[in-house]
């Protein structure tokens, strides 16, 4: 192969991948408020990155440190922003597409010649460069794009180790896997898979030993300093965050089993809430302050105690195993099938990745006899599937191993195109059966158990649109989500607030009444209802609701401040200026900068 031909593949794939990601990022930032507004995981990553950049005192890791650390370095002296986080991932996603193309060419080209290798490279690179699921996540903040890059790099280095027995290649694989494990501990699976295959494939067996030593050295370069850091900060000699036991409970506790979702209501819904509540509950149960590892152990023990029995837990794990192949990418605060509406490209292409997993299974079976190194990708996918089934039932967590499936799919297709009829019929039949079985899991998972609803994403997008004054769009998004999950309290509450802002106070009251049926929003729904009752002339009811909320509302300054502000309007409406002033003063003390407080002040000071 000429030098120009060798470089054509990575250059073309890289240019296309970069241009497409920048285009989609521009579209999403123009139309999608969640690409500009940092909430939930996005906000937590930016806050951590800012703390690292500012040199804030070290604290125990609850979230994986890899992405915020890298973001803090990239942001340099400026405070990390959503745009900086997105651009970091655009670069990572572009490099992933290029590395996948080269890894696929290397995998197949050694077995069937340059023609097949070149075809595999173009197919793998094209799949990653153009696929909606990668383009969408690569334009977002988050660690998935970085983990995708590290998994492909580890696979490529492991492939070279298995082919040549090269210790430097083994060390590179270990280093990439170690760095990836700082983002998600399940990433160690690719290092374990490489070690297992080296011990069974390299001959004589002693050929594997220098590589194994290099692999362990590569891992140690990352894991040992991380463990020493955690021992210094938290007293725990572990390289990983202390959220392991918490994640186990959130993935397998009673709420998780009821919804087949990553949720535990007592811990809250954002990473910051989970961290605080996990510590508070564990220490209350122990009656003393606990080290991070002790908190993690408490929640691991709670997982066993609250498992619902072996049968219930087994059924839950089986549903999660099927959900690994789910057609939708269920994120925490982003949902590609919803947010694709803001991008022309994402409306044209698939934004799920199940089909790559499906084709990867068939591709692996087609090529594994001629290209046994393909087992490295397949075993990594299998081990990750098992680990995520235990810990995470959210399908976006599978994303880092999907590029490996794309490489296998590309290799299988290239093998079929080049060799065609030379592939034994039995092998083709088994490959087709694997594809059919995986497709059945992906497309039929709803019949096994309804997957977790993306209603939270509809609520997030709708609320953000409303905040920008785009009430009609917000109402459309929220009603679309509620058509699937009509009993969701937060979505009903958000829709009520949108209607309230648009002047439909009667419609808003109807939504607030429905929201009160959900324990999560039972009391919060009453807060804006006070204003709607005032606006519709139901002053006595507004007074009664306010009095009840004053006793029952959670101690949230913003929520209580808003309630007091609207309750002050109720007092003013019945002519009690003294009560109105006292309530407004209390609201001002609790939440002085709250828009509701400013609005109540404006109304009460306006001439009558």
pLDDT of residue 5: 65
Residues 273-323: pLDDT tens digits?
888 999 999 999 999 999 999 999 999 999 999 888 888 889 888 888 888
List the single range of 102-116, 447-461, 466-480, 513-527 with lowest mean pLDDT. 447-461
Q: Quote the pTM value.
A: 0.90
Q: Please report which confidence band the pLDDT of residue 111 belongs to, taking 50, 70 and 90 as the band edges.
A: very low
Given a cut of 60, whether residue 528 has pLDDT beyond it is yes
Distance from C-alpha of 543 to C-alpha of 157, rounded to nearest angstrom = 69
Using CA atoms, how far apart are residues 270 and 40, in angstroms rounded to an integer? 5
Which tokens hold the place of 23? 């285009």
Please provide residue 316's backbone torsions phi and psi, each rounded to the nearest 5 degrees.
Answer: -65, -45
What are residue 264's DSSP bridge partners? 268
Separation CA 562–CA 527 (nearest Å): 7
Measured distance CA(424)–CA(66) in Å, rounded = 45
**Averaged pLDDT for residues 490-510:** 93
When pLDDT is cut at 50, 70 and 90, the band that residue 208 belongs to is confident
CB proximity list for 357: less than 8 A, separation 6 or greater: 325, 381, 398, 402, 405, 438, 442
Please work out, in degrees rounded to the nearest 5, the angle formed at the alpha carbon of residue 170 by the alpha carbons of 212 and 229. Answer: 80
pLDDT of res. 608: 58
**Least reliable range by pLDDT among 81-90, 124-133, 330-339, 461-470:** 330-339
Quickly count: other Cβ atoms within 10 Å of residue 57's Cβ. 6
pLDDT at 318: 86
Name the CA dihedral angle for 237, 242, 244, 247, rounded to a multiple of 10 degrees: 180
Work out the pLDDT band at 113, boundaries 50, 70, 90: low
CA separation for the pair 546, 561 (Å, rounded):
12
The average pLDDT across 476-492 equals 91
Q: Indicate the angle between helix axes 402-419 and 354-367, nearest 10 degrees.
A: 50
Question: What per-residue confidence (pLDDT) applies to 219?
Answer: 95
Instruction: Answer whether residue 331 shows pLDDT above 80.
Output: no
> Which tokens go with 432?
């087709």
- Tell me the per-residue pLDDT of 356-376, one tens digit each, with 9 for 90 and over: 999 999 999 999 888 888 999
Asked if pLDDT for residue 355 goes beyond 50, the answer is yes
Q: Which of 61-75, 105-119, 344-358 has the largest mean confidence?
A: 344-358
pLDDT band at residue 147 using 50, 70 and 90 as cut-offs: very high
For position 225, what pLDDT does the model report?
Answer: 94
Greater confidence (554 vs 281) lies with 281
Q: What is the mean pLDDT of residues 144-167?
A: 94
pLDDT for the residue numbered 485: 87
C-alpha closest to that of 345 among 559, 129, 501 = 129
- Residue 123 and residue 113: Cα distance in Å, rounded? 16
Look over the chain and give the mean of its residue pLDDT values, rounded to a whole number: 88
Helix (H) or strand (E) holding 302: helix 292-305
Phi, psi (deg, nearest 5) at residue 141 = -65, 160
Residue 383, pLDDT score: 93
- The answer to whether 61 and 70 are in contact (CB under 8 A) is no
pLDDT at residue 449 tops 60: no
How many beta carbons lie within 10 A of that of residue 281, not counting itself? 16
Confidence at residue 607, expressed as pLDDT on a 0 to 100 scale: 65
**What number is the average pLDDT over the span 471-493?**
92
Mean pLDDT of the 504-512 span? 94
**What is the pLDDT, as a whole number, of residue 236?**
86
pLDDT for residue 492? 94
Rounded to an integer, what distance in angstroms lies between the CA atom of residue 365 and that of residue 413?
A: 11
Please enumerate in sequence order all residues whose Cβ is within 8 A of that of 590, keeping only pairs 6 or more positions apart, or say none: 557, 558, 560, 561, 564
| pLDDT confidence band for 223 (50 / 70 / 90) | very high
| Distance from chain centroid for Cα 252 | 18
Between 331 and 141, the higher pLDDT residue: 141
In DSSP notation, 200-239 reads: HHSSSGGGHHHHHHHHHHHHHHHHHHHHHHHHHHHS---S
Residue with tokens 């405070």: 79
Predicted pLDDT at 443: 78
- Out of 265-274, 285-294, 480-489, least confident range: 265-274
Please state, as a whole number, how many other Cβ atoms lie within 10 Å of the Cβ of residue 552.
Answer: 10
Q: How far apart are CA 361 and CA 372, in angstroms?
A: 14
Q: How many CB atoms lie within 10 A of CB 250?
A: 24
Mean pLDDT over 69-98 rounds to: 86
| CA nearest to 262, candidates 183, 192, 326, 173 | 326
Give 329-357 as a 3 state SS string. Answer: CECCCCEHHHHHHHCHHHHHCCCCCHHHH
What integer pLDDT is reported at residue 529 of this predicted model? 93
């Amino acid at each position: 192969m000429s030098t120009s031909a060798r470089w054509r593949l990575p250059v073309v794939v890289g240019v296309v991948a970069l241009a497409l990601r920048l285009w989609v990022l521009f579209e999403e930032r123009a139309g999608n408020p969640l690409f500009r507004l940092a909430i939930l995981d996005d906000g937590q990553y930016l806050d951590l990155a800012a703390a690292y950049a500012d040199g804030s005192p070290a604290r125990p890791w609850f979230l994986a440190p890899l992405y915020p650390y890298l973001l803090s370095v990239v942001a340099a002296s400026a405070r990390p922003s959503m745009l900086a986080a997105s651009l970091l991932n655009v670069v990572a996603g572009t490099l992933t597409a290029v590395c996948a193309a080269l890894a696929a060419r290397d995998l197949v080209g050694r077995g069937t010649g340059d023609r097949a290798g070149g075809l595999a490279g173009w197919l793998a690179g094209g799949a990653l460069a153009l696929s909606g699921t990668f383009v969408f996540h690569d334009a977002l903040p988050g660690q998935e794009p970085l983990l995708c890059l590290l998994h492909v790099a580890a696979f490529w280095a492991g492939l070279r180790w298995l082919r040549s027995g090269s210790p430097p290649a083994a060390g590179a694989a270990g280093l990439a896997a170690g760095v990836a494990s700082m983002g998600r501990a399940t990433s160690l699976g690719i290092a374990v898979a490489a070690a297992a295959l080296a011990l069974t494939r390299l001959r004589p067996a002693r050929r594997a030993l220098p590589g194994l030593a290099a692999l362990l050295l590569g891992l140690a370069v990352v894991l040992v300093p991380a463990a020493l850091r955690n021992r210094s900060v938290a007293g725990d000699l572990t390289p990983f965050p202390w959220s392991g036991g918490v994640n186990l409970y959130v993935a397998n506790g009673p709420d998780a089993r009821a919804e087949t979702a990553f949720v535990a209501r007592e811990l809250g819904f954002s990473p910051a809430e989970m961290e605080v509540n996990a510590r508070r509950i564990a220490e209350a149960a122990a009656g003393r302050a606990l080290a991070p590892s002790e908190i993690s152990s408490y929640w691991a023990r709670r997982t066993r105690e609250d498992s619902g029995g072996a049968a219930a837990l087994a059924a839950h794990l089986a549903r999660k195993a099927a959900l690994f192949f789910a057609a939708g990418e269920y994120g925490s605060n982003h949902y590609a099938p919803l947010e694709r509406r803001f991008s022309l490209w994402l409306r044209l292409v698939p934004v799920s990745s199940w089909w790559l997993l499906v084709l990867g299974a068939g591709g692996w079976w087609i090529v594994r006899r001629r290209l046994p190194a393909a087992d490295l990708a397949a075993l990594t996918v299998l081990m990750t599937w098992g680990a995520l089934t235990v810990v995470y039932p959210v399908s976006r967590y599978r994303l880092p191993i999907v590029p490996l499936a794309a490489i296998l799919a590309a290799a299988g297709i290239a093998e079929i195109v080049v060799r065609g009829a030379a592939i034994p019929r039995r092998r083709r039949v088994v490959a087709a059966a694997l594809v059919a079985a995986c497709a059945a899991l992906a497309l039929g998972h709803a019949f096994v158990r309804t997957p977790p609803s993306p209603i939270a994403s509809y609520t997030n997008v709708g609320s953000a649109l409303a905040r920008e004054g785009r009430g009609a769009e917000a109402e459309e998004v929220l009603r679309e989500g509620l058509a699937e999950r009509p009993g969701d309290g937060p979505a009903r509450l958000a829709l009520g607030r949108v209607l309230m802002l648009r002047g439909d106070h009667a419609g808003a009251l109807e939504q607030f009444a429905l929201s009160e049926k959900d324990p999560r929003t039972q009391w919060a729904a009453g807060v804006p209802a006070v204003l709607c009752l005032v606006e519709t002339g139901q002053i006595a009811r507004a007074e009664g609701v306010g009095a009840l909320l004053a006793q029952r509302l959670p101690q949230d300054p913003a929520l209580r401040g808003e309630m007091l502000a609207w309750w002050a309007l109720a007092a003013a409406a019945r002519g009690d200026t003294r009560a109105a002033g006292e309530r407004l003063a209390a609201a001002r003390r609790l939440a002085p900068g709250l828009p509701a407080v400013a609005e109540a002040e404006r109304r009460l000071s306006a001439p009558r």
